Amino acid sequence: KTWALARNPRYFDFDPYGGDCTNFASQCVYAGSGVMNYSYVTGWYFNSSYDRSPSWTSVMLFYNFLVSNQGVGPYGVDTDRASMQLGDLIQLGDATGRFYHSLIVCGFEGDDILICCHTYDSYMRPLSTYYYDRIMFVHIKGVRYY
């Protein structure tokens, strides 16, 4: 929540390069997990704008990392809206199946989920105010430290 409407100086701002939403979502998941996965091909990490895994900033690659990670770091499961908890990930897509936006669950209000995100910086914005054709819900199930 601290950096939803600002930029954390420890990380690069990818807004001018296609968007910062998944970078912000990765920062949030890392803040909760405290561990990155430095596997060269399948990992999830950020050291600098030039030394990071593609999954740190790519909507689909971040999803793929979370739901398939068998190694060190956070892991999750593809789930439904009713299973969402604070800190979980939501991703929005278009009718062609291209997913383009990553959101972090930061609250609940009645039947609505409140999100925090970058690119279109938002703090406690109702999910119901977004327009999308497809949606994915990822519950962060846990973290492996080995």
In tens, the pLDDT along 40-55 reads: 889 999 999 999 999 9
Model confidence pTM above 0.85: yes
Average pLDDT, the chain: 96
Which of the 8 DSSP states describes residue 128? G
Please check the confidence at residue 1 and state whether its pLDDT lies above 80. Answer: no
Q: State mean pLDDT over 59-85.
A: 98
What local confidence, expressed as pLDDT, does residue 134 receive? 98
Please provide residue 57's backbone torsions phi and psi, each rounded to the nearest 5 degrees.
-125, -5
Instruction: Grade residue 146 by pLDDT with cuts at 50, 70 and 90.
Output: confident
Q: Tell me how far apart the alpha carbons of residues 81 and 138 are, in angstroms, rounded to a whole number.
A: 9
Q: Give the residue from 37, 100, 30, 22 showing the smallest Cα distance to 68.
A: 37
What does residue 37 show for φ and ψ, rounded to 5 degrees?
Answer: -115, 110
